[in-house]
């Protein structure tokens, strides 16, 4: 882990002792799922991020999708599950949604996303994170859903 990653995680833990995140499975017409590569942490992730104080989770999801990936939901997302993310942060949970209806827009984040990748959900690039792999294997394959991200 880089110094930047360590500092970011430490700041995040101190500023938010209890955290809630949202991530989305966004699928295109070819059956590929959207993955993002951040500039501040290694690996490919499902797009998403933190829920801000006073912000509804689905609203946070919509905000993060526009910021990170240039995806705007045109209908409500479907909640897939709630998962413990204690491997990364103690007291962290992630709500996973499936976004079926969406349209492309201009991404608003500057400097946070290094790359956007579309991939077959069961044939992911080698640097897709373990959590991303687990969630997609449960959604598209025969893997058990489990409690952990």
Instruction: State the average pLDDT over residues 2-22.
Output: 76
Question: What residues make up the domain containing 131?
Answer: 18-140
* Nearby residues of 66 by Cβ (< 8 Å), 6 or more positions away: 72, 105, 107, 108
Eight-state DSSP code of residue 127: T
109 part of a folded domain = yes
Whole-structure pTM over 0.95, yes or no?
no
66 part of a folded domain = yes
Eight-state DSSP code of residue 24: E
Looking up residue 118, the CATH number of its domain turns out to be: 3.90.79.10
Is residue 12 over pLDDT 70? no
Rounded Cα distance, 78 and 142, in Å: 20
Tens digits of residue pLDDT in 84-115: 887 766 788 999 999 999 999 999 988 999 99
pLDDT at 66: 98
Tens digits of residue pLDDT in 35-90: 999 999 999 999 999 999 899 999 999 999 999 999 999 999 999 999 988 776 67
How distant, in Å, are the alpha carbons of 10, 80, 127 from that of 27? 33, 14, 19
Question: Strand, coil or helix: what is 11?
Answer: helix
pLDDT at 36: 98
């Amino acid at each position: 882990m880089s110094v930047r990653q360590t500092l970011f995680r430490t700041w995040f833990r101190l500023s938010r002792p209890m955290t809630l995140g949202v991530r989305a499975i966004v699928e295109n017409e070819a059956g590929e799922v959207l993955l993002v590569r951040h500039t501040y942490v290694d690996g490919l992730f499902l797009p998403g991020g933190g829920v801000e104080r006073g912000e509804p989770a689905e609203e946070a999801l919509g905000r993060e999708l526009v910021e990170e990936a240039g995806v705007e939901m045109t209908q409500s997302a479907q909640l897939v599950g709630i998962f413990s993310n204690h491997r990364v942060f103690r007291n962290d949970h992630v709500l996973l949604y499936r976004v079926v209806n969406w349209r492309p827009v201009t991404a608003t984040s500057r400097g946070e996303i290094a790359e956007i990748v579309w991939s077959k959900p069961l044939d992911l690039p080698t640097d897709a994170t373990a959590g991303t792999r687990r969630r997609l294997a449960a959604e598209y394959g025969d893997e058990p859903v489990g409690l952990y991200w």
